[in-house]
Amino acid sequence: MSAPSLIVFGARKGAGLAVAQAARAAGWAVTVVVRPGADASALSAAGCQVREADALDTAAVSESFAGLPSAAWVVSTLGGFDPVVDNFGNRNVIAAARAHGVQGMLLVSSLGAGDSRAYASPKLVAAIGPVLDAKTRAEDALRASGLAFAIVRPGGLVDGQASGSGQLVEAQDVHGYLSRTELASLILRLLAGGGLSGQTLAAIDPACPPPARYA
């Protein structure tokens, strides 16, 4: 049996890098798509196949799927601070994934997006309101795409090792933190179980303390 296949957008650093590294450690075949000229040395070292495409270049995103198995899963962690990439970059990935006929797509969004906005703190909305709006539009595009999908909305992300105590929950009125490696572990577990059935899940870790500046 061939290794399961994963395509990751936004993998150069942060949660995307953690997902790619965790998948490779589990024996998955991983292709990552990074911005042209980006330093992908950590991804190459992990054994990932590296391709380049600007997420805002529709044709380039489509071409990045060329030759990859349709049985692949897609994960996008694009965006974070750029509403244009959060919205249009992710929508380009969604369209290309649908055209390629992949098994399904998991979008990493954020607590405070979509119907969890009602539970976001005024401080969070003031800081990244436009980003949350863009993530909401990307979520809506994925729901309308016809793809098998899951949307994961993590709380605050911190550095650190996986704790094994992270949770994916349907309730959206939650707050908290988790490490990027723990988020990667939760995502990989969800994909390995084939569990992309239109869920929107919050990701938190009750054992993860807030960063010192928020403690």
pLDDT, tens digit, for every residue of 23-43?
999 999 999 999 999 999 999
Q: How far is CA 33 from the centre of its chain?
A: 13
Domains in the chain, number: 1
**pLDDT exceeds 90 at position 190:** yes
Q: Rounded to whole angstroms, how far apart are CA atoms 33 and 48? A: 10
Q: Rounded to whole angstroms, how far apart are CA atoms 67 and 69? A: 7
Structure tokens at 134: 């863009």
Q: Rounded to whole angstroms, how far apart are CA atoms 205 and 73? A: 25
The range of the structural domain enclosing residue 46 comes to: 5-214
Tell me which of 74 and 117 has the higher pLDDT: 74
Q: Which ranges of 11-105 does DSSP label H, i.e. alpha helix?
A: 14-25, 41-45, 58-63, 83-84, 90-100
Q: What is the CATH number of the domain that holds 149?
A: 3.40.50.720
Report the predicted TM-score, pTM, of the whole model to 2 decimal places: 0.94
**pLDDT exceeds 80 at position 167:** yes
The DSSP string of 157-214 is EE-S---S--EEES--S---EEEHHHHHHHHHHHHHTT--SSEEEEEE-TTPPPPGGG
| pLDDT tens-digit series, residues 108-159 | 999 989 898 888 788 878 888 899 999 999 999 999 999 999 999 998 899 9
Average pLDDT over every residue of 100-106: 96
Structure tokens at 102: 């992949």
Task: Identify the CA nearest to 152 among candidates 194, 127, 184.
Answer: 184
Radius of gyration of the chain (CA): 16
Helix-, strand-, coil-residue percentages of the chain, each rounded to 5? 40, 20, 40
- Contact criterion met (CB below 8 Å) for 79 and 85: yes
